[in-house]
Amino acid sequence: MQPSGSILWRLKYRYAGREKRLALGRWPEVSLAEARRRREEARRALAHGTDPAAAGATAAVTFRAVATEWIDRYLATKAEKHRVSVSRRLARDVFPYLGDRPVAAITAPEVLAVARRIEARGAMETAHLAIQNIGQVMRYAVATGRAESDPTASLRGALAPVPTLHMAAPADDPPRVGEILRAIQAFRGSAVVAAALRLAPYLFVRPGELRTMRWQDVDLDRAEWRFTASKTRTDHVVPLARQALAILADVAPLTRGLPGGYVFPNGRSTDRPLSDAALNAALRRLGIDTKNELTLHGWRAVARTMLHERLGYPAEVIEAQLAHRVPDALGRAYNRTRFIEQRRAMMQAWADFLDALRDGSLPPAPRTSSARSSPTQIG
């Protein structure tokens, strides 16, 4: 019996002069009859001179079997995109090397070897994620009595860290921003995609927040959009400038009232929002390099830099509109209405500034002199 009170079936045996233990499962998931069957398979392996742990006394304790069970149970309530991503990563990069190995016999060097193969092709982030996913499966195996420990715990620092990537954004190039805005204005694809592309720079919210925007959260009369910020999980208010209201009014006859309630529904099913891939593909069709020049997320960096440097707005007002969790001088955490009147004025000034850039007009002079700050990584 474990300190937690769970009962684990284990077989103590000797192999090559060493005493070892084989995890057979946890009661009641593994019945007494099943534990005995697994014990007999292990004994048969010993009789043939094979270590039961290395041979995999039963297919039920292979890494692939435990990982599949973990996916079905643990990831069942997660977002479909995340579930598919993890499943593909395990199937492509892990199962070919560890899938048929007994989960109890997997060692840290084996896991590191898998990660090194991924690292060798330049996929640093995937290598780290693979170790993370293997660790999740191994901890599930430990919890269910099919492994003794998680070998990934000893791999901390074994891989080089993932380089910090900056979201592409021409934050210090107003003329180029104007060119991009003109290209977006001329987009002739789907009306829903066009509306989302045009709205993105005015609102500079996170791409996932824009894509999942719902009509029930938009108050056109009050010129506000209220929702829960995806990163900080805090209530947030986005004041809507006249230009943003005009775009929403244009798209309303197309999407308001559709199942799902999304402002920008998916073209194949209105129960789902527009995909990130669809919007970035639209940018690429316009000749915009989404890897090196501008992503949808990059509008946050553009707004953060230009609102401060070109329009002279205080950093704390901009940070509040970005929905960053930044305590004030008195230690008070973010609240959705902080600086709300200044933010209303700022969002209208920002929309007017973008229009001036798009139309090739001279941008307004900064209201105040301020130290230069040009962040390119905005959460």
Residues recognised as catalytic: 206, 231, 297, 300, 324, 334
Give me the residue label for tokens 């949808």: 296
Sign of the Cα torsion 296, 377, 169, 300 reads positive
**DSSP string of 11-48, one letter each residue:** EEEEETTEEEEEEEEEETTS-HHHHHHHHHHHHHHHHT
Nearest-10 Cα torsion for 198, 201, 204, 206:
50
Q: Three-state SS string across 146-210, please?
A: CCCCCHHHHHCCCCCCCCCCCCCCCCCCHHHHHHHHHHHHCCCCCHHHHHHHHHHHHHCCCHHHH
Sign of the Cα torsion 115, 120, 123, 124 reads positive
Q: Could you give the CA distance from residue 94 to residue 146 in angstroms, rounded to a whole number?
A: 19
CB 350 within 8 A of CB 241: yes
CB 297 within 8 A of CB 207: yes
Quick one: which of 85, 134, 125, 82 has its CA closest to 106? 134
Residues in the chain: 379
For 62, counting Cβ atoms within 10 Å of its Cβ (0-12 exposed, 13-18 middle, 19+ buried), the class is buried
Q: What angle do CA 281, 289, 354 make, to 5 degrees?
A: 90
Please give the C-alpha separations between residue 164 and each of 74, 167, 346, in angstroms, as whole numbers: 29, 10, 30
CB 335 within 8 A of CB 323: no
CB 281 within 8 A of CB 288: no
